[in-house]
Structure 1
């Protein structure tokens, strides 16, 4: 979930039910992790689902946060929070453990590991400095093997530097394995202050099994633009095996504050000792785009990226990049929002695929309206990355958390799915509470602030469900029509998921 939206303002690990989730370490007799599936924390070759509730009360501590992992194939549920043997830091009120999530195989054992961002963690007396943990997978399940690895800023800490109030380390995280087999993680610190001023932002790049740390700012050699106040470099992140993208939603463009921008890097270190910068750009500076950067557009609030192959290539050496622009005005409709689609080419050039997709786009279902915030979150998938990309293989999901119907149910929200290749309006699908999403519509549900793309479909978090319900996550196949019932449901109190919570589904991995 990407925030900063107008108007939105003892360690514990419990395995519940299912074979192989008894809470102990994996025995020598158990099969080794198989790897290769993605989000497979017990290494059995079946995808798992991690669902965060960063507002959950844990052991009486309000908004301490917790994460529920549902192991695929009916193999049980594991709940992870701070305060257990394998998640090494105490839970505190207001930490918001699970505010951001990412997955990769950090230790290369074949079981995927879960990266958990806790940006509101206090470091000593330093408020909201932030904290990130790698919670390791094992054949016994997530957090059932070795002790987690924590990352904080400090002279004697893994990331170096100094922990400062409001840094928000871990506000965004991304992780992948590079095309050369190097596991890497990117940690955003958008509240970092620097010589350029307040909230210029910062990036920690952590690579390899040894977890080498490299720090990157907009003042690093070859990085686009200079570090300036309120840039918030690192507020959003996305990664593939060949590139990672950094959102800079506060970037000023030609004097227009919070117009926004993005920077693209390769995960390999260059001669300057940092991940190699590819390029950076704003709406105004994207090649082939006639869109203009405007104040408060917040271009880069959300980003998503997938490997991509064209007919001219023999392998997926490029990437499609979706950039959310929730503050975009559509004609005179303030904050209606939009999404731009680009291709990062193997020769380090950028191609504009669609400079402005919005709800007034040709043949697209729905109508743009003020305050929709279309693009507050985006998710991309390529179901066949080694094949030439097509409208059936590459899909884009867009969150519209400010959507409402006929003035009823203010900020009810919704989600729209598009083909990411070809005509966007040819087969788009719309879902909202009461129409496809099986919950009663109500005010300020903000559906569309939490999305995740999987090979089989899109997962939609309904974290702010009406009434006393703590939330839910619903899965829809990529080819499912508007109004179709979900093919998956994850909800507290059902299928082994514990009851309780506050905002279950606020982040999904």
Structure 2
């Protein structure tokens, strides 16, 4: 493959029908461009890293345990990093739990395919799952600005395997792109942005799956309609799904950008089309939901599709540039009366939502998806919601990024166990414009009952830090949980950039 210097990080735009409009679209995109600075599961970087200590003899299993020692690790993405002199080539750093050092991974690493080149932005998106079911967690890493031959920004995704030698040290990576030699098929094209969003998991039948967003994909003569690639099983079979696929709600339309966002649990998958139009109203947005098992049409089973009309209160009107489903987050849910987890909670970011006369004040909708695939609204959250901190202001972009977690999966889900982090990167704090921050809220129950505001961390306050433009979650070890419980934080941490 050959690549080019990608220049300033970019967000897929809305094509020729959006413009800047009354909703300040150009400002939203300018802020969104900062997202490339650090991806989900983000922590500060730039400090020296020790060589990793000896890992466990065999994979002990567990989410986010890359070296199989049973102690959770943290994956840190730096897609803007310079690698081997190549600007914005991107890299990953894995901080190993238990004080065992860290591992740095880039496309220059021995067991990682391809090579680092300027503008790749390796690590723009990432997901953690056990792709080969060996008990060690693996990383799926999106590089949507990778050039494929002459096709600029066609995109590329790699699965980098964990092992007892730590992630990326014992087994060659598995790469995916579009083409007849790959399970998804298709053809790599300029600005497909293959891997712009990724999410992954393991179905209730134990089958690993990986969802790859391709929001710039043309469907026939329809530009930037978007599609998703679906990789499943330990033998890495694959298929492609668009809004023209059998059983999928709506149809592929110009500039929908289906695949711009994605989230999943073991039972449900949600994929966003935030630039979808409704009638003559441009950029309203929508999403499609699936179940992981492959159906007779060779795609994950479609469940439903929805947009703003699914929210009966307080606003059902789809408005220009609402960008519904710009961000998605899901958490498993055990409903009352159930003996185990059967359902999911889905959070949907609507950063372009106007609240009364306040433009782009934004909102987040939370839904309950049942085992049967039915969906109902649980919460509408904005800064008018009782006891939620702050007040609605133009351009706050609340919900531009989301992260969710169920901290205690062996009990009935309550407001104390299912948490939602809501990025508000456009929040003004006193004299500092667009300093940003994060709301940490319960997904169910009264959102304001335990709202905790997280502002910028160490360092001097400053304008345009856009805190909350990248989010991730992690359940802590039991020892850490006991320590944080004393501080009333619970066994849950939010990682913020």
CA contact (8 A) 2:162 2:169 kept: yes
Counterpart in the other structure of 1:444: 464
For 2:310 and 2:65, locate their aligned partners in 1 and report how far apart those are by CA, in whole Å.
39
CA contact (8 A) 1:196 1:227 kept: no
CA contact (8 A) 1:196 1:228 kept: no
CA contact (8 A) 1:317 1:345 kept: yes
CA contact (8 A) 1:288 1:352 kept: no
SS in 1 for 2:448: helix
Which of 178, 188, 204 is the equivalent residue of 2:229? 204
Per-residue deviation, residues 349-390 of structure 1 (Å, max 9, x unmatched): 111101x21112111111111110000011111112231111
For 2:29 and 2:129, locate their aligned partners in 1 and report how far apart those are by CA, in whole Å.
32
Counterpart in the other structure of 2:405: 381
Q: 1:417 to 1:72 in 2, by over 3 A?
A: same
Alignment of 1:410-425 (within 5 A): 410-425=433-448
Deviation of the 1:480 alpha carbon: 5.5
CA contact (8 A) 2:310 2:377 kept: no
Deviation of the 1:409 alpha carbon: 1.9
CA contact (8 A) 1:288 1:351 kept: no
SS in 2 for 1:346: coil
Counterpart in the other structure of 1:428: 451
Q: Is residue 319 from structure 1 mapped to residue 344 from structure 2 by the alignment?
A: yes
For 1:488 and 1:364, locate their aligned partners in 2 and report how far apart those are by CA, in whole Å.
19
Q: 1:339 to 1:2 in 2, by over 3 A?
A: farther
Counterpart in the other structure of 2:59: 33
After TM superposition, the score normalised by the length of structure 2 is 0.87
For 1:126 and 1:7, locate their aligned partners in 2 and report how far apart those are by CA, in whole Å.
25
For 1:229 and 1:109, locate their aligned partners in 2 and report how far apart those are by CA, in whole Å.
42
Deviation of the 1:313 alpha carbon: 2.3
SS in 2 for 1:6: helix
CA contact (8 A) 2:474 2:493 kept: no
After TM superposition, the score normalised by the length of structure 1 is 0.85
Q: 1:196 to 1:227 in 2, by over 3 A?
A: farther
For 1:388 and 1:223, locate their aligned partners in 2 and report how far apart those are by CA, in whole Å.
32
Q: 1:287 to 1:275 in 2, by over 3 A?
A: farther
Q: 1:477 to 1:170 in 2, by over 3 A?
A: farther
Q: Is residue 361 from structure 1 mapped to residue 385 from structure 2 by the alignment?
A: yes
Q: Is residue 246 from structure 1 mapped to residue 274 from structure 2 by the alignment?
A: no
Q: 1:245 to 1:2 in 2, by over 3 A?
A: farther
Per-residue deviation, residues 396-423 of structure 1 (Å, max 9, x unmatched): 11000001123x2221110111111111
Which of 52, 55, 61 is the equivalent residue of 1:18? 52
Deviation of the 1:310 alpha carbon: 1.3
Q: 1:78 to 1:174 in 2, by over 3 A?
A: same
Deviation of the 1:6 alpha carbon: 2.6
Alignment of 1:124-163 (within 5 A): 124-163=149-188
Q: Is residue 370 from structure 1 mapped to residue 394 from structure 2 by the alignment?
A: yes
Counterpart in the other structure of 2:374: 349
Q: 1:480 to 1:367 in 2, by over 3 A?
A: farther
For 1:287 and 1:332, locate their aligned partners in 2 and report how far apart those are by CA, in whole Å.
20
Deviation of the 1:127 alpha carbon: 0.3
Q: 1:32 to 1:368 in 2, by over 3 A?
A: same
For 1:241 and 1:137, locate their aligned partners in 2 and report how far apart those are by CA, in whole Å.
20
Alignment of 1:183-262 (within 5 A): 183-195=208-220, 197-262=222-287
Per-residue deviation, residues 166-210 of structure 1 (Å, max 9, x unmatched): 000000001101111001100000010112611100111000000
Per-residue deviation, residues 123-180 of structure 1 (Å, max 9, x unmatched): 0111000000001100010101111011111222343211000000000001101111
Per-residue deviation, residues 270-315 of structure 1 (Å, max 9, x unmatched): 1111100010100113567753221101110000111101113222
Counterpart in the other structure of 1:393: 417
CA contact (8 A) 1:287 1:350 kept: no
Q: Over aligned residues, Cα RMSD in angstroms?
A: 2.4
For 1:279 and 1:285, locate their aligned partners in 2 and report how far apart those are by CA, in whole Å.
11
Deviation of the 1:20 alpha carbon: 1.6
Counterpart in the other structure of 2:326: 301
Which of 62, 69, 90 is the equivalent residue of 2:87? 62
Aligned residue-pair number: 453
Q: 1:279 to 1:358 in 2, by over 3 A?
A: same
Q: 1:478 to 1:296 in 2, by over 3 A?
A: farther
For 1:478 and 1:55, locate their aligned partners in 2 and report how far apart those are by CA, in whole Å.
35
For 1:198 and 1:312, locate their aligned partners in 2 and report how far apart those are by CA, in whole Å.
47
Q: Which runs of 5+ in 1 are unaligned?
A: 22-29, 458-475, 491-504
Alignment of 1:456-471 (within 5 A): 456=476
CA contact (8 A) 1:132 1:170 kept: yes
Counterpart in the other structure of 1:7: 30
My pick for the range that moved more, 293-302 or 195-204, is 195-204
For 1:245 and 1:323, locate their aligned partners in 2 and report how far apart those are by CA, in whole Å.
10
SS in 1 for 2:77: strand
Deviation of the 1:321 alpha carbon: 0.3
Counterpart in the other structure of 1:95: 120
Deviation of the 1:234 alpha carbon: 0.6
